[in-house]
Amino acid sequence: MIEMRKTLGDKGTMIAYGTGSSWKSGQDVNKSNTINQLLIDSIKTALYSGYRHIDCAEFYGTEREVGIALNQFLADNPNLSRADFFITSKVFQSISDIRRAISASLSRIGTTYLDLYLIHSPFYLSKSLSSTWSQMESLVDAGLTHYIGVSNYRIEDFQSFLPSARIKPVCNQIEFHPYLQQPELIEFVKKREYWCVVILLWFP
């Protein structure tokens, strides 16, 4: 689950249903057509329970299930539309071509835009953080995502690209639980008013 600590629109403030961790398929999302029906049913249960924010990622291999569940839910609830939901996804394996990566994610989910798109990790990038962030900014310009942010970024990672950033990251999605609290990083993020802090609530 994810708690948004600052407003990203009405739906962005809600606790999200996450499709990582135990749901992660471990398969190449660009090659596998395997569908996890249990995950689809779980997401639909979350939606019927009132969740309106769903978190997924290219790396998790769960984007197809999110799309199937959401579209089935919308078909059963014609009073609702895509605009009533907040969908977050992340790029990792396909980071070298972010435009193609988000296009593939949108296709798998079955939507024309994301509400929030994140760089899943600052590690293993083929380009500098500032160059990569510039590509993320172009996605907002193109209307492919409403907001952009990062995940698993450290203070030094922010310092390497913020001076040249035209659009500031709205969040840093991090792991947070009793065994990993990261107080300095959380304080660093909280001091910047344009960021929300996204907390992963991890249960062993």
Domain spanning 2-201, CATH architecture: Alpha-Beta Barrel (3.20)
Q: Name the residues annotated as catalytic.
A: 60, 120
- pLDDT tens-digit series, residues 114-151: 999 999 988 877 678 888 999 999 999 999 999 999 99
Q: Which of 136, 135, 132, 177 shows the shortest CA–CA distance to 157? A: 132
- pLDDT tens-digit series, residues 77-106: 999 999 999 999 999 989 899 999 999 999
**What is the pLDDT, as a whole number, of residue 204?**
42
**What is the pLDDT, as a whole number, of residue 196?**
62
**What is the pLDDT, as a whole number, of residue 2?**
47
pLDDT score of 43 more than 50: yes
The model carries a pTM of 0.87
Mean pLDDT of the chain: 84
152-159 long-range contacts (CB < 8 A, ≥24 apart) are 152/120, 152/121, 152/122, 152/123, 153/119, 153/122, 154/122, 154/185, 155/184, 155/185, 155/188, 157/122, 157/129, 158/188
SS3 31: coil
pLDDT score of 31 more than 60: no
